[in-house]
Chains A and B, each alone.
Chain A
Amino acid sequence: MNHLLIAPIVLPALVAPFIIMTLRHHIDLQRIFSIASNVLLVAIALALAAQAYDGTVQVYELGNWQAPFGIVLVLDRLSAMMVLLTTLLALAVNLYAVGSKWDERGQNFHALYQFQLMGILGAFLTGDAFNLFVFFEVLLIASYGLMIHGGGTRRFQAGVQYVVYNLLGSSLFLFALGTIYSVTGTLNMADLAVRVAELPAADSALIRVGAIMLLLVFAIKAALLPLHFWLPASYAHAPAPVAALFAIMTKVGAYSILRMYTLVFGPDVPVVDGLVGDWLLPAALLTVALGAIGILGAKEIGKLMSFAAIPSIGTLPTAVSLFEPAATAAALYYTVHSTLSAAALFLIADMIRERQGGEIEAKPLMPQSGLISVLFFTAAIAAAGMPPLSGFLGKLMILDAARSEQTAIWIWGVILVSSLVTIMGFARAGTALFWKSHGLQSHDTMEEPEIEIESYAEGEAPAAIPRPAALPFVAVFSLLAGLVLLTLFAGPMSRYAAATAQDLFAPRAYIETVLANRDRPVLDAHHGADSHGTDSHAESSHGTDAPEAHDQSEESH
């Protein structure tokens, strides 16, 4: 067994309590350890990605318990990619949090941050549906703490909404898992895939209910319409670095949809035939449209960025819902892009908010206005999907993949129009924030003290005025550099995405690797029914044993 597989979970799980218990009063040490842990995570993720690059699937059996009984972690191309994306994003965002001193505004930022990473990375790596629930809870409970980091009435109120909504989601998740377990008798994803494929068509009612409830749960996480209500308020009121990190959280939902509905409830599984795509596509398209409308209506920059994140969130499931490799490959490419661009937008919004408040209206020129406007427009171009950045390529690939579908006209129409509306929304905000401000400067110079500071900063800054911290800019620039790299290396990246999509739609290698240690052949047609006489299989055939036990209990009545 390759112990590197569990390192992305163990490392933050060790660093976080260490920070809480020993470094509670030393913010500098906390920063050092937190960033060092993040750098190490990036290194680990790079090593894992290198191992998964050729398509080998690796399995880590926790406690050496064999696959359907114990919990397994599975590394394949998809999870390696998501882990690498998460760690890179987390490093940039952590630098921003340190540079902008957001981590000082409340307690235990870095510890919660590490726990959050542990949850996200665990959710990407796990190969067990219940363990996925547990990692969801880990990342949620850390995100509750991060969400209200720094305090403030509005943030607390948004936090309550966020927590309650997600508690409902967690309950639904458990209901869904219970339903699926009661039909299949297993929660290991690979084992589920085998058993669901074997289910007789007559037995499909419960499993279909379970599949749809699970879809709802992931739709809540992915903020799909009509389950997106938690997102705008939460993202707008969350501390900026946290909102930027949350850019990956919706991807956890999208990832789970992709994983469960290709592996377990795949497009060619008869009992759930066509169930998911039919629901996912309209919901995703409506999400895209709603986000675009929200961008036009936003009066506050945090809200603007939240709504700007929604179309990109909706674009993903649109591509996923087609359930065919080319579209999925495009979705994967777009995932990387939209995560980086959404995070960059949230950080830029925070820079603007720190300097001149959150309203989108013409105000006196802020310090570093020129630099921030460059960042804003670059990120906006990327997020709206204009050439030359990766958003354009991603959307192009999605549109191209959808061309032969019956629903192509809807997909093309909604994505193109919403892109146009997004551009308009960003243009409106950008002109108000950066261009009209130039006109105002002359009127307000006398009244506004900030202007004087600003006019110094343009020329020679006197010693009394602190120079702006460089680290936040480093963080934003590195996110944007990631987007540029994604554009430059679009060829290799999209080939990797295509290979990943191929793997997803041919899950045989995944299933066989996970269940390799089980002594009965993996894909033989007969159920556990004939094997529950022998001791070693008795537990694996819950699903078939249990109804008998049920009958006996009725007799005992």
Chain B
Amino acid sequence: MELLIASAVGLLTAAGIYLILRLRSFPVILGTSLLSYAVNVFLFATGRVVINAPPILNKTATDVTYTDPLPQALVLTAIVISFGMTAVVVMISLGAYLSAKDDNINMDDTADLQGEDA
């Protein structure tokens, strides 16, 4: 199980970074979402991997295993935030693509001087 999770995190991160380096908005967005999945799985694992245990502490039975509930709360927050961020980045890149007719992330510095004003 540890191997599966670790390799999943590694693979997602590697794929995400590769896609981000493509410098076209669509792959970059895919890359950032893959990266956020990697983060989410990683956060789950930070509470140590526990199988078949509730994230609830049992007051009466002291030796019952439980999953660390805090990473789950963190993951929930991270999922919501990354979802929102993905929506924002999609909208902004769409705006950039539609107005520039080009989805390259790189900017051409000389165009600054041609005075596309405020």
Cβ contact within 8 Å between B50 and A550: yes
A152 CB contact (under 8 Å) in B51, B57, B99: B99
A136 to chain B, nearest CB (A): 10
- A303 proximal to B (CB < 8 A): yes
Cβ contact within 8 Å between A236 and B65: no
B72 to chain A, nearest CB (A): 12
- B46 proximal to A (CB < 8 A): yes
Cβ contact within 8 Å between B88 and A150: no
B115 CB contact (under 8 Å) in A158, A357, A557: A357
User: B116: nearest residue on chain A (CB-CB)?
Assistant: A154
Cβ contact within 8 Å between A153 and B66: no
Fill in one digit per residue for B9-31: 1 if any A CB lies within 8 Å of its CB, else 0: 00000000000100001001000
> Which residues in window 148-182 of A have CB below 8 A to B?
148, 150-154, 156-161, 163-164, 167-168, 170-171, 174-175, 177-179, 181-182
Fill in one digit per residue for A106-146: 1 if any B CB lies within 8 Å of its CB, else 0: 00000000000000000000000010001001001100110
Max chain B Cβ within 10 angstroms of own Cβ: one of A157, A159, A177, A236: A157
- A507 proximal to B (CB < 8 A): no
B98 to chain A, nearest CB (A): 9
Contacts of B96 in A (CB 8 A): 153, 156-157, 159-160
Q: Range of interface residues on chain B?
A: 35 or more
Max chain B Cβ within 10 angstroms of own Cβ: one of A159, A167, A539: A167
Cβ contact within 8 Å between A153 and B88: no
Cβ contact within 8 Å between B115 and A556: no
B78 CB contact (under 8 Å) in A144, A161, A164, A174: A174
Contacts of A520 in B (CB 8 A): none
Max chain B Cβ within 10 angstroms of own Cβ: one of A174, A236, A533: A174
B111 CB contact (under 8 Å) in A154, A359, A542: A154
- A546 proximal to B (CB < 8 A): yes
Contacts of B115 in A (CB 8 A): 357-359
Distance, CA A316 to CA B59, complexed state (A)? 50
Q: Range of interface residues on chain A?
A: 35 or more
Cβ contact within 8 Å between A357 and B117: yes
B65 CB contact (under 8 Å) in A152, A303, A358, A552: A552
Q: A134-B77, A141-B85, A163-B89 are in contact. Are A549 and B53 (CB under 8 A)?
A: yes
Contacts of A160 in B (CB 8 A): 25, 89, 92-93, 96, 105
A59 to chain B, nearest CB (A): 20
- A495 proximal to B (CB < 8 A): no
Cβ contact within 8 Å between A144 and B70: no
Contacts of A535 in B (CB 8 A): 57, 59
Classify the secondary structure of B's interface with A.
helix
Fill in one digit per residue for A539-557: 1 if any B CB lies within 8 Å of its CB, else 0: 1001001110110110011
Contacts of A236 in B (CB 8 A): 112
> Which residues in window 98-118 of B have CB below 8 A to A?
99-100, 105, 107, 111-113, 115-118
B110 to chain A, nearest CB (A): 10
- A353 proximal to B (CB < 8 A): yes
- A403 proximal to B (CB < 8 A): no
Cβ contact within 8 Å between B112 and A134: no
Distance, CA A160 to CA B99, complexed state (A)? 13
Distance, CA A464 to CA B68, complexed state (A)? 71
User: B70: nearest residue on chain A (CB-CB)?
Assistant: A542
B26 to chain A, nearest CB (A): 12
User: B96: nearest residue on chain A (CB-CB)?
Assistant: A156
> Which residues in window 507-557 of A have CB below 8 A to B?
533, 535, 538-539, 542, 545-547, 549-550, 552-553, 556-557
A178 CB contact (under 8 Å) in B20, B43, B84, B85: B43
- B8 proximal to A (CB < 8 A): no
A491 to chain B, nearest CB (A): 42
B32 CB contact (under 8 Å) in A137, A168, A182, A553: A168
A542 CB contact (under 8 Å) in B42, B47, B92: B47
Q: A158-B107, A164-B32, A359-B115 are in contact. Are A549 and B66 (CB under 8 A)?
A: yes
- A239 proximal to B (CB < 8 A): yes
Cβ contact within 8 Å between B88 and A141: yes
B35 to chain A, nearest CB (A): 5
Contacts of A154 in B (CB 8 A): 107, 111-112, 116
- B4 proximal to A (CB < 8 A): no
Distance, CA A267 to CA B46, complexed state (A)? 26
Cβ contact within 8 Å between B92 and A159: yes
Cβ contact within 8 Å between B88 and A163: yes
What is B's interface to A at a CB cutoff of 8 Å? 1, 20, 25, 28, 32, 35-36, 38-39, 42-43, 45-53, 57, 59, 62, 65-68, 70-71, 74, 77-78, 81-82, 84-85, 88-89, 92-93, 95-96, 99-100, 105, 107, 111-113, 115-118
Q: A175-B39, A546-B47 are in contact. List 9 more A-B contacts (CB 8 A).
A: A130-B77, A137-B81, A144-B92, A160-B96, A171-B32, A182-B45, A299-B112, A303-B112, A549-B48
Can you name 20 A-B residue pairings with CB atoms under 8 Å? Answer: A151-B99, A152-B99, A156-B96, A157-B105, A158-B107, A159-B96, A161-B105, A164-B28, A164-B32, A182-B45, A236-B112, A354-B118, A535-B57, A542-B47, A542-B68, A545-B68, A546-B47, A549-B50, A549-B53, A553-B53
